[in-house]
Amino acid sequence: MIIVMKRDAGEAAVAAVIAKLESIGSEGHVSKGQYRTVIGALGDREAIHQVPWEAIDGVERAVPVLNSYKFVSREFQPEDTVIEVRGVPIGRADEFVVVAGPCAVESREQLFRTAEAVRCSGARVLRGDAFKPRTSPYSFQGLGEAALELLDEARAEFDMPFVAEVLDPRDVELVSSYADILRVGTRNMSNYTLLQEVGRQPKPVQLKRGFTATLQEWLNAAEYIFKEGNHQIIMVERGIRTFETAARNTLDITAVPLLKQMAHLPVMVDPSHAGGKRQLVAPLARAAAAVGADGIMVDVHPEPETALVDGEQALLLEDFDEMMKAVTAVAVAVGRST
């Protein structure tokens, strides 16, 4: 059961609900968001159902939810969550938001050339990482805070919010002090300490799907963030590992409509990390728009042959412009503008 408190309900009303739950041998998990407080009730279902929750002071409604992911489920919140990032609405049924930029920030020139070009072609959010999760410990690991400073400058210059990955719970405060959106990458989807930490800071979080994660596991990861009080979560499908080796991953396009039915959170697709090859990015991006995603996130590099990370999947600036035109046409066909 989820107990949704009224907007004006105070601490005392929340404490009374918790006390009531405890009196019947159950427990309450409080998630205090920006707009409202919600309480997840765990314990004996029968006993919880017997309480006339909606008659208790400060309670707006009580919603029975059977899934282990409760707060993020559609049952709990039938309407879509829309996340406003510096005026860009993510999750609105009539918008398709394109996030683009380099996989990693490598230099000022590389970042600024890319940001200017993608902005001009119609991207609304910039990507660029300061910390990179690399398979080899000897590969380029990112420029760290210097990259965040460059992103901060690029945001001002091109009037674009930016998203950056955070790998380590110890860096959450640092990344959160610069970025408009924090990203938890595929390798960290099950890093519960990191999920809790990003759940305790105020910036929206992009949560990538673990490459071996089921939708249930992915939604439970989102629940970790939500439960800590951060209700602004964007799910990103980025391909999963299957028996197929022809592409870097297999884009699970089915996940998009399924997630939309199971949860109320915005869903994006990353066609770059899914396909892993430049020539697959545009077709997968069009598929994402057609299947009902709320946006895409795309790797772009002015000189991919010199890229320190993921050059083979980065679009050239002119490829990106072409892709934007094609994706916009598909988005318009399904009632969304880019």
List residues binding ligand PEP (CB under 6 A): 103, 129, 133, 185-186, 208, 238, 270, 273
- Which residue number, 238 or 264, has a Cβ lying nearer to ligand PEP? 238
Stretch that binds Mn ion, among 62-70, 98-106, 204-212, 277-285 (CB under 5 A): 98-106
Stretch that binds Mn ion, among 101-109, 226-234, 300-308, 314-322 (CB under 5 A): 101-109
For Mn ion, the binding residue among 103, 125, 182, 268 (CB under 5 A) is 103
Minimum gap (Å) between residue 2 Cβ and ligand PEP: 30
Give the Cα separation of 255 and 216 in Å (integer): 11
For Mn ion, the binding residue among 310, 317, 336, 338 (CB under 5 A) is 310
Give the Cα separation of 334 and 338 in Å (integer): 11
- Which residue number, 83 or 184, has a Cβ lying nearer to ligand PEP? 184
Return all residues near 135 (Cβ < 8 A) that are at least 6 apart. Answer: none
Q: Are 169 and 194 in contact (CB under 8 A)?
A: yes
Q: List, in sequence order, every residue forming a beta bridge with 39; answer none if it has no partner.
A: 3, 30
| Residue 238 touches which member of ligand PEP, Mn ion, none, C-beta under 5-8 Å by kind | ligand PEP
DSSP-derived 3-state class of residue 190: coil
Task: Name the residue number minimizing CB distance to Mn ion.
Answer: 103
Nearest to 295 by CA among 324, 264, 258, 321: 324
Return all residues near 53 (Cβ < 8 A) that are at least 6 apart. Answer: 1, 3, 17, 59, 61, 62
Minimum gap (Å) between residue 205 Cβ and ligand PEP: 13
Task: Name the residue number minimizing CB distance to ligand PEP.
Answer: 185
| Residue 43 touches which member of ligand PEP, Mn ion, none, C-beta under 5-8 Å by kind | none
**Tokens encoding 334:** 């399904």
Which residues contribute to the site for Mn ion (CB under 5 A)? 103, 310
